[in-house]
Amino acid sequence: MVTLTWLDALSDDSADDSADGAAVRALLRAAGEHDGRPEVDADGPLPREFRGGRHLLATDTDGSVVGYAHLDTGGDAFGNGVVELIVAPDRRRAGVGGRLVAEVLTVDGPLRLWSHGDHPGAVALAKRHGLARVRELLRMRLGPGGELPERALPGHLRLRTFEPGRDEDAVIGVNARAFDWHPEQGQLSVEELVATEGESWFDPAGFFLAVDGDDDRDRVVGFHWTKVHPDGIGEVYVVGVDPDAQGGGLGTALTLVGLRHLRESGIDEIILYVESDNAPAVAVYTRLGFTVAETDVSYQR
């Protein structure tokens, strides 16, 4: 018999030194090994989507955690609570996911629940609970081979890399203006960026800034933050351009800077995530050779 328990906090969200924290981290890592996601380090901070908020644990009679749902109570930019839900790989198709979803839906207020990979089981659960498919996030892939076009930064802008302790405020400012329409990305804070700098994959050498001005008084107008996953896959993690600098090809130029960096680092496979209804961005990535590999779906009641 599985027992469901809400926790307002794990004993320590950034370490696994508590029974609950260790069990949740172990579950997330087992799911990551089975599914390819989420990526969770053996120690250090949990990924952003599992920090803070409320935690729903599904515990078996032997005390093992066999399911977990995280509710981001801060919500997205549109006031929706955001739910990530994971079931242990060896306990799937046994009703654990259905119980977690039913319990999550007792929470008041608008909610959005993620299904990574558009799994048929999630489609069935959504239908059972009357959830609407409201958002699709495409995972696009660029394989090895093929020439990348050359594209210089427009005008008098120049390129440099991110400097921890110097550039956080400027990058977050550009990010907020560039993604004021986005449910999550525009809410990234300086504190979250600093926390991410402590994660094992963070590398400022792959975090490129387009700046206006000289070394001492430059102004950040765009950035391309790349990521290399533990399995060696590269990612166009975030490309952001200040609205005042858009329309001149800066986004494409920065994208190519990061792609060349990843290729020169020996990365054969590169991925990115983009909203399915962002037709201009999808068109740019398609012209660069990216193809859709997978779709993540957000459901809302």
Mean pLDDT, range 270-274, rounded to an integer? 97
Burial of 79 (0-12, 13-18, 19+ CB in 10 A): exposed
Residue 145 assigned ligand-binding role: no
Mean pLDDT, range 228-254, rounded to an integer? 94
Q: What is the pTM assigned to this prediction?
A: 0.86
Which string of DSSP letters, residue by residue, matches 34-100?
Answer: HHS-----SSSPPPGGGSSSEEEEEE-TTS-EEEEEEEETT--TTS-EEEEEEE-GGGTTSSHHHHH
Residue 257 assigned ligand-binding role: no
Residue 127 assigned ligand-binding role: no
The per-residue pLDDT for 14 is 45
Does pLDDT of 43 surpass 90?
Answer: no
Residue 187 assigned ligand-binding role: no
**Which domains are delineated in the chain?**
3-109 (3.40.630.30), 144-268 (3.40.630.30)
Does pLDDT of 301 surpass 90?
Answer: no
Residue 248 assigned ligand-binding role: yes
Residue 121 assigned ligand-binding role: no
Q: What percent of the chain has pLDDT over 90?
A: 78
SS3 137: strand
The per-residue pLDDT for 17 is 46
Does pLDDT of 47 surpass 50?
Answer: yes
**DSSP state, residue 205:** G
